[in-house]
Structure 1
Amino acid sequence: MPDTEQLTTTTPNVQTDAPSLPNLEQESWQQLASAADSEADPFKTLVVATCTNTGAGARMVVLRQVDVIRKYLWFHTDARSEKVIQLEAFPTATLLFWDDKQQRQLRLVVETRLHTDDYVADDQWHTLGLGSRKIYLSERKPGSEQPAPYQGFPEQLGENLPTKEESEAGRKNFAVIECRTLSMEYLHLSRKGQTRALFQYEPESKQVWLAP
């Protein structure tokens, strides 16, 4: 005789109040675009993770520009830095954004391209204020060993900003890293339930929900 106890079927918990995937993608890119123009936005600073011959490297950088339509991002760095060497050898990198207040994380896998002596770097250089240009006046390679603490710019400047003319000496050390987004992963943490999704752009386009 078959068991007369009624069998029950379980189904995964579904968040009925979750936004649609297209809306979630649009909101994420809108925040990234806003962060590029806002010093207060938590997405203004991000972690860049790179590959090396001996493992991986990670450091903080500042988001400078976002193209929502093409899914491109840009940040600046010293052309002599170790991350430039790493990205030239292994162009694929991961960008990690975290919004502590919203408990929201974005993880982008990108293909990078270096700009130093072209119109892209020239255009970005012209947008920099003197405070930002000052750090490119360093006479020493970033990460090089020093006999004593080094402030990262000519000692005579001290707390002062360089003049615009003085700042032009830093142009040769300035580089722009262009990032073409291959995929973006969204994660939102909440006591009501986590939300995780993947937006893939290359090699094929798809949008899917993921288990947190």
Structure 2
Amino acid sequence: MPASEQPSNTEPVQTTSPSLAELEHTSWQQLASAPESEKDPFKTMVVATCADAGADARMVVLRQVDANRKYVWFHTDARAEKVIQLEAFPTATLLFWDENRQIQLRLIVETRLHTDDYVADDQWAALWVGGRKTYLSERKPGSEQPAPYPGFPESLGEELPTEAQSEEGRDNFAVIECRVLSMEYLHLSRKGQTRAQFRYEPESKMVWLAP
């Protein structure tokens, strides 16, 4: 019998698409690992809020993720306009994009502000002096200035503050806690797009969506 006709002991590889549950789990694991990696695309996200003139959006850094409880956290200056917006309307949208994997995650969240409690204290304590530097700004974020302003005391220049100096920024530091109400997943591909939604509140539900 020719070699080409010999029976093969190798089974063909079965390729199957992930289930909704597998996709949801993987998405949360990718989010959870992002804060620890400087190069992970999910380390930064767009936060969209409601403003008097319509929608408002800006980039922030993802600081912490609790995949089991479905919570994420980010930091902000307590004087920033987004704090006022979130106090008036606490629902926001978080948007993540990974260029390499061609994956977008869109989270609808309900936010809670932390400034003078253990949550803010713990996250401030874990923040290195370089991260604390911008909270030393004497000027309110978004306020008009006569000339470019670096966002921290100009006397610091390229230097980092000392640990003691950085503590002066604590009063301007805030943590935004985000309880995730739903997550929407979108994967772009030439073979076809994949879109799904994972709802957590008011009831838990996983569904496929048309892209």
How much identity, in percent, do the aligned residues show? 79
Displacement after TM superposition at 1:54 (Å): 2.2
AA of the residue aligned to 2:205:
K
Q: Is 1:121 aligned with 2:130? A: no
Shift of 1:92: 0.1
Cα offset, 1:107, TM superposition: 0.2
Match of 1:133 in 2: 132
1:47 aligns with 2:50: no
Partner residue, 2:81 = 82
2:50 and 2:151 map into 1 onto residues whose CA distance is 26
CA offsets per residue over residues 37-81 of structure 1, 9 Å max, x none? 111100000000001222110000000000011000000000000
Unpaired stretches in structure 2, ≥5 consecutive residues: 1-14
Counterpart CA distance in 2 for 1:128 and 1:64 is 10
- Distance, in Å, in 2 between the alignment partners of 1:166 and 1:174 is 14
Report the number of matched residues.
197
State the Cα deviation string for residues 113-170 of structure 1 (Å, max 9, x = none): 0000000000000111111000100000000000000011111111000000000000
Letter in 2 for 1:74: W
Secondary structure in structure 1 of the residue aligned to 2:196 = strand
TM-score, normalised by the number of residues in structure 2: 0.92
- Write the mapping of 1:89-168 to structure 2, written as runs, cut at 5 A: 89-168=88-167
Matched letter for residue 30 of structure 2: Q
CA distance in 2: counterparts of 1:36 and 1:69, whole angstroms: 16
Residues in 1 aligned to 2:148 and 2:59: alpha-carbon distance in whole angstroms: 21
CA RMSD of aligned residues (A): 0.8
Distance 1:92 1:35 in 2: 23
Distance in 1, Cα, partners of 2:37 & 2:69:
21
Runs of 4+ in 1 over 2 A off after TM superposition: none
Show the counterpart of 1:72.
71
Q: Give the TM-score taking structure 1 as reference length.
A: 0.92
The AA in structure 1 aligned to 2:175 is: V
Tell me, which stretches of 5 or more residues in structure 1 are unaligned? Answer: 1-15
CA distance in 2, matches of 1:181, 1:25: 13
Q: Which amino acid aligns with 2:80?
A: S
